[in-house]
């Protein structure tokens, strides 16, 4: 088993990302910034209606418009459109303005079909059925045989329904790519993707050419969050448009409304939860009937029960199909929903029992799980940082004025882990330059930088001495960036390649230094003989003569792991007259094994928290039952946190020798999971009544207060 | 007023003709805000009425350089910069003045270039992120050092808003920075690094 350096100089430090200045100065070209010579502008035609059959489609007038070079349709007369925003075809023209005009000039006659745009509509008796087999697909029930009995016998019985709505990814760089046919069977592609290899593969399949003939590049990209793994239908359309236009590059990126409508979304989750517990705070039973929608064809399942040990559980889940855009993976798929619904119930039953919700959680951690000792350490750190002991008060005791203050928490978990079949190449050149390459991507996570840190650590150089080249499908096979798997998949081969390149390099220069290779080592930009600095790195590299040293290597075992915990605490202030929630502080405690770059690691966790603040307070895809259209497919009414909404956020790494010994584990997903749960619990703690619908908007908060008042009256 | 009511409201030429004929002073008292703006335009333009359509030649002063291109009257400043002049620092994200990724500085003021017409910027100094100092005294450097970016697609907008803010307020508090950047949206959630970067840049710029 290999191991990481015991006393690293760089690994674990705070190292600015290699591509940071290029991005911050506007000089880096994103895929959507690339304009190869002769670029034509593509615009997509998408469905303006939620559910329809196409009676006729006529693009002849559009084809004759000035500047229009190609039109390609993917839905013909007789075809069905299942949601607003579904792709019909595309136009390529000399300018974007002309392409838009031409899209508008394509005449489509729709036979409007009765739609179901919301889950309520889809589940209503007599609803129009949009799916073979019905709008509601019930999954297999998983049940412990004694669960009903255990629930009936419980000292305390919770019976509540919670729901969290569909949200969309809102990648700031929309989905898209520029495609150019270089000849009959070669394509060059600049794609905003989490998976350069996947884009090449999909386009190669669509056009029946070898995947190696599709050169996909993603030097940087403007956000994916799980929604950008393929070329997509619009990518294939761009390929057809380019082909029809004699191979000219065609640029095809979604507009903002299309990005909301068809670029992916996170399914909703609704749970009717019956939970039982003893009077000393032990969970005994949980019965959950859940449903959610992943749009017109995708599922919407999520893990439940979540984190805690429930001796008797029953779960049944139904996927609900609606005339809405289809779900895609979104940062920790399923977990934020499962976590929110579980943790809300945990807080509500803790309030019934009259137990401190922190103690209640500790009591109900799974006794044999490897995460339990990790959670215990994390809860201690988090509770201390938020001031739980001093500040937490039971519901209903958080101030007598109109502004109430409350605390809440949530726990989460993620598997992560990596693959062992990816490769990195490491090349040392006679001029002293060092290049690492792999066909993985940097989504803003810092992948490029951690590969350079690992290489520089081994070669005794600075991170900035390493050229870290990723995002190119022709490079050695790299990890698609999803599920927090990139760092654990790519760090081991980067380390192995650097070690092998170092050894080959030292063997090669040893004779010129009149030494044996075993006497040589590297540190601080020097080659050492028997521990004494002898010659600078650059001078040593010159001794390579004409030949570079280049090694392509795969993973070594023992350098990465999987499975993390984590917890978050929130402090919120709520105005019970207006329902406005103001966050005061969030504490996020996270383990993720060996941390390569503490600076970018902290940014990931911090950003994960904000990725949880958004659905906690603001985000919601609003569908209009009447028209079947999304009412907020923009960035004005689709609300996201801005600078003034951001509270103090404290990020605490569980960075212990035991954690470091686990090796590299990714951190993209876990820190976004429990934020919305912790905030909801803080709000409910503040106002003294449970709020059962996310987001914690003034309306949902005031509704909860009103419902509680009515219940009491 | 009958004449305007009978014509489509977006017929700019006829509205101007009407304004010229009707007497500006009288018109001002009864016209809506939109028409008031048209009066301003009419006042500013003493020459014959120009109807712009199709592609027209255009000169834009971008980062101190006079750049000639063609664009349509409806072309936004952002699309003209990005699609026709290869100035791709400003990004198109919301395309509706909600997110700030397209922020540029026109005549010293930040504007959302996605909702500014290119034709309206002729003869004005347009400053984009590409012209900013990338050295240790500049705002981009502070963003880099403080990890005020992740995917980086919102970053040019934040950097531009931040620079404009610091140009006007050399010594901002955290709250002033937050308010000054409220016109920008980051999806990765990099705000903490952004705030640190803004404070650090203010400090260096004062020292410089």
| Per-residue pLDDT tens digits for A569-622 | 999 999 999 999 999 999 999 999 999 999 999 999 999 999 999 999 999 999
Q: Does residue B201 fall inside a structural domain? A: yes
Angle at A246 between CA A240 and CA A248, to 5 degrees: 80
pLDDT digits (tens, 9 = 90+) for A666-709: 999 999 999 999 999 999 999 999 999 999 999 999 999 999 99
Q: Does residue B1 fall inside a structural domain? A: no
Same domain, B118 and B136: no
For chain A, say whether B121 makes contact (Cβ under 8 Å).
no
Tell me A508's DSSP state.
H
CATH T-level fold of A265-416+561-712: Aldehyde Oxidoreductase; domain 4 (3.30.365)
Contacts with B, A 71-100, CB within 8 Å: 95-97
Same domain, B139 and B102: no
Q: Both tokens of residue A47? A: 């469905």
Same domain, B68 and B119: yes
Contacts with B, A 40-69, CB within 8 Å: 41
For B141, the closest of A21, A172, A646 (CB atoms) is: A21
CATH number attached to the domain at A418-553: 3.30.365.10
pLDDT at position B24 is 42
Residue in B with minimal Cα distance to A23: B152
Same domain, B136 and B195: yes
pLDDT at position A319 is 98
CA quadruple B165, B166, B167, B168: dihedral positive or negative? positive
For chain A, say whether B132 makes contact (Cβ under 8 Å).
yes
- pLDDT of B26 > 50? The answer is no
Every domain of chain A and the residues it spans: 34-113+175-253, 265-416+561-712, 418-553
Contacts with A, B 155-174, CB within 8 Å: 155-156, 159
The length of chain B is 208
Q: Exposed, middle or buried: residue A416 (CB in 10 Å: 0-12, 13-18, 19+)?
A: buried
Beta strands A214-217 and A186-191 are parallel
User: How many whole angstroms separate alpha carbon A94 and alpha carbon B191?
Assistant: 38
- pLDDT of B63 > 90? The answer is yes
Short-list A593, A462, A687, CA closest to A9: A462
For B140, the closest of A21, A96, A170 (CB atoms) is: A21
Q: DSSP alpha helices (H): ranges in A387-419?
A: 388-391
pLDDT at position A207 is 98
Residue in B with minimal Cα distance to A260: B94
Same domain, B40 and B64: no
Tell me the CATH number at B67.
3.10.20.30
Give the Cβ contact number of residue A431 at 10 Å.
10
Same domain, B30 and B81: no
Short-list A194, A152, A158, CA closest to A177: A194
Short-list A287, A334, A338, A39, CA closest to A179: A39
Above pLDDT 70, what percent of chain A?
Answer: 100
Same domain, B122 and B149: no
Residue B123, by phi and psi: left (phi above 0), alpha (psi -120 to 50) or beta? left
ipTM over 0.95: yes
Rounded to the nearest angstrom, the minimum Cα separation between A642 and chain B is: 6
For B187, the closest of A17, A170, A256 (CB atoms) is: A170
Contact A285, A366 (CB under 8 A): no
Structural domain total, chain B: 3
Same domain, B65 and B111: yes
For chain B, say whether A222 makes contact (Cβ under 8 Å).
yes
- Residue span of the structural domain in which B164 resides: 132-207
Short-list A7, A128, A20, CA closest to A452: A20
Q: Does residue B4 fall inside a structural domain? A: no
Same domain, B72 and B92: yes
pLDDT at position A429 is 98
Same domain, B64 and B108: yes
pLDDT at position A151 is 98
Short-list A414, A379, A393, CA closest to A587: A379
Q: Does residue B3 fall inside a structural domain? A: no
Strand boundaries in B90-134, DSSP class E:
103-106, 109-112, 125-127
- CA trace torsion A124, A128, A134, A139 (10° rounding): -30
Tell me the CATH number at B137.
1.10.150.120
Same domain, B137 and B125: no
Contact B15, B35 (CB under 8 A): yes
Distances (CA, A) of A361 to A391, A395, A494: 18, 17, 40
Q: Does residue B152 fall inside a structural domain? A: yes
CATH T-level fold of A34-113+175-253: Aldehyde Oxidoreductase; domain 3 (3.90.1170)
Rounded to the nearest angstrom, the minimum Cα separation between A704 and chain B is: 29
Which residues neighbour A268 within 8 Å (Cβ) at sequence distance 6 or greater? A119, A163, A164, A165, A166, A292, A293, A300, A337
Domains A265-416+561-712 and A418-553 share a fold: yes
For A444, the closest of B156, B178, B188 (CB atoms) is: B188
pLDDT at position B1 is 33
For chain B, say whether A311 makes contact (Cβ under 8 Å).
no
Of residues B21 and B55, the one with the higher pLDDT is B55
Instruction: Tell me the three-class secondary structure of A69-128, residue by residue.
Output: EEEEECCCCCCEECCCCCEEEEEEECCHHHHHHHHHHCEEEEEECCCCCCHHHHHCCCCC
């Amino acid at each position: 088993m290999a191991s990481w350096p015991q006393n690293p100089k760089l690994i674990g430090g705070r190292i600015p990302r290699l591509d940071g200045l290029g991005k911050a100065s506007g000089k880096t070209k994103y895929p959507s910034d690339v304009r190869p010579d002769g670029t034509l502008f593509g615009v997509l035609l998408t469905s303006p209606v939620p559910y329809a059959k196409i009676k006729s489609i006529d693009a002849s007038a559009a084809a004759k418009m000035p500047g229009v070079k190609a039109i390609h349709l993917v839905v013909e007369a007789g075809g069905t459109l299942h949601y607003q925003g579904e792709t019909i075809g595309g136009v390529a023209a000399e300018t974007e303005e002309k392409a838009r005009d031409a899209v508008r000039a394509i005449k489509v006659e729709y036979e409007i079909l009765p739609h179901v745009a919301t889950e309520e509509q889809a589940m209503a008796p007599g609803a129009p059925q949009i799916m073979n087999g019905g709008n509601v697909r019930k999954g297999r029930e998983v049940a412990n045989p004694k669960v009903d009995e255990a629930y009936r016998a419980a000292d305390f019985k919770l019976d509540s329904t919670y729901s969290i709505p569909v949200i969309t990814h809102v990648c700031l760089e929309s989905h898209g790519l520029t495609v150019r046919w270089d000849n009959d069977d070669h394509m060059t592609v600049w794609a905003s993707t989490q998976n350069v290899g996947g884009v090449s593969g999909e386009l190669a399949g669509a056009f029946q050419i070898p995947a190696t003939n599709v050169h996909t590049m993603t030097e940087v990209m403007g956000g994916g969050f799980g929604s950008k793994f393929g070329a997509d239908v619009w990518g294939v359309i761009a390929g057809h448009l380019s082909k029809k236009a004699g191979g000219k590059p065609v640029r095809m990126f979604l507009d903002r409304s299309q990005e909301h409508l068809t670029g992916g979304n996170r399914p909703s989750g609704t749970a009717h939860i019956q939970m039982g517990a003893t009077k000393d705070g032990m969970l005994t039973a949980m019965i959950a009937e859940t449903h959610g929608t992943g749009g017109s064809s995708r599922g919407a399942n999520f893990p439940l029960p979540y984190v805690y040990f429930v001796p008797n559980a029953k779960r049944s889940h139904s996927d609900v199909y609606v005339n809405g855009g289809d779900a895609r993976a979104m940062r920790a798929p399923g977990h934020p929903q499962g976590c929110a619904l579980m943790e809300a119930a945990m807080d509500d039953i803790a309030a019934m029992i009259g137990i401190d919700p922190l103690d209640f959680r500790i009591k109900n951690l799974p006794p044999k799980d490897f995460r339990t000792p990790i959670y215990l350490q994390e809860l201690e750190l988090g509770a201390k940082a938020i001031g739980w002991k001093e500040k937490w008060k039971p519901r209903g005791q958080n101030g007598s004025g109109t502004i109430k203050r409350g605390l809440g928490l949530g726990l989460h978990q993620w598997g992560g882990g990596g693959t062992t079949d990816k490769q990195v190449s490491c090349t040392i050149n006679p001029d002293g330059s060092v290049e690492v390459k792999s066909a993985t991507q940097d989504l803003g996570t810092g992948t490029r930088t951690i590969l350079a840190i690992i290489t520089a650590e081994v070669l005794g150089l600075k991170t900035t001495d390493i050229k870290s080249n990723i995002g190119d499908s022709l490079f050695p096979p790299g990890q698609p960036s999803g599920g927090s798997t990139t760092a654990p998949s790519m760090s081991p081969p980067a380390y192995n390649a650097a070690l092998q390149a170092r050894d080959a390099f030292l063997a090669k220069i040893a004779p010129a230094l009149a030494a044996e290779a075993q006497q040589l080592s590297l540190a601080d930009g020097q080659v050492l003989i028997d521990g004494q600095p002898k010659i600078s790195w650059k001078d040593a590299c010159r001794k390579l003569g004409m030949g570079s040293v280049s090694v392509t290597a795969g993973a070594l075992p023992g350098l990465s792991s999987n499975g993390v915990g984590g917890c978050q605490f929130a402090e919120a202030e709520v105005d019970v007259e207006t329902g406005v929630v103001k966050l005061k502080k969030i504490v996020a405690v996270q383990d993720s094994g060996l941390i390569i770059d503490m600076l970018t690691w902290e940014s990931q966790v911090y950003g994960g928290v904000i990725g949880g603040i958004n659905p906690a307070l603001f985000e919601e895809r609003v569908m209009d039952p009447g028209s079947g259209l999304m009412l907020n497919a923009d960035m004005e009414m689709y609300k996201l946190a801005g600078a003034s909404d951001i509270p103090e956020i404290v990020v605490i790494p569980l960075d212990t020798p035991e954690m470091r010994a686990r090796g590299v584990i990714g951190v993209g997903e876990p820190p976004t999971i429990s934020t919305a749960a912790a905030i909801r619990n803080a709000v409910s703690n503040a106002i003294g009544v449970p709020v059962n619908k996310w987001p914690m908007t003034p309306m949902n908060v005031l509704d909860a207060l009103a419902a509680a008042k009515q219940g009491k009256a | 007023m009958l004449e305007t009511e009978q014509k489509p409201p977006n017929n700019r030429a006829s509205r101007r003709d009407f304004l010229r004929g009707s007497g500006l002073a009288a018109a001002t008292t009864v016209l809506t805000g939109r028409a008031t703006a048209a009066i301003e335009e009419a006042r500013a333009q003493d020459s014959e009425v120009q109807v712009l359509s199709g592609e027209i030649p255009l000169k834009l002063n971008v980062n101190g350089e006079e750049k000639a291109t063609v664009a349509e009257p409806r072309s936004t400043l952002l699309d003209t910069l990005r699609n026709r002049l290869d100035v791709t620092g400003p990004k198109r994200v919301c395309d509706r003045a909600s997110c700030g990724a397209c922020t540029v500085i026109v005549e010293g003021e930040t504007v959302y270039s996605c909702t500014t017409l290119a034709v309206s910027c002729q003869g004005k100094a347009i400053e984009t992120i590409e012209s900013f100092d990338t050295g240790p005294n500049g705002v981009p450097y502070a963003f880099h050092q403080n990890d005020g970016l992740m995917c980086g697609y919102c970053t040019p907008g934040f950097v531009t808003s931040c620079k404009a803010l610091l140009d006007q307020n050399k010594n901002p508090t955290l709250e002033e920075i937050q308010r000054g950047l409220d016109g920008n949206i980051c999806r990765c959630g990099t705000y903490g690094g952004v705030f640190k970067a803004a404070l650090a840049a203010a400090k260096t710029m004062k020292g410089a």
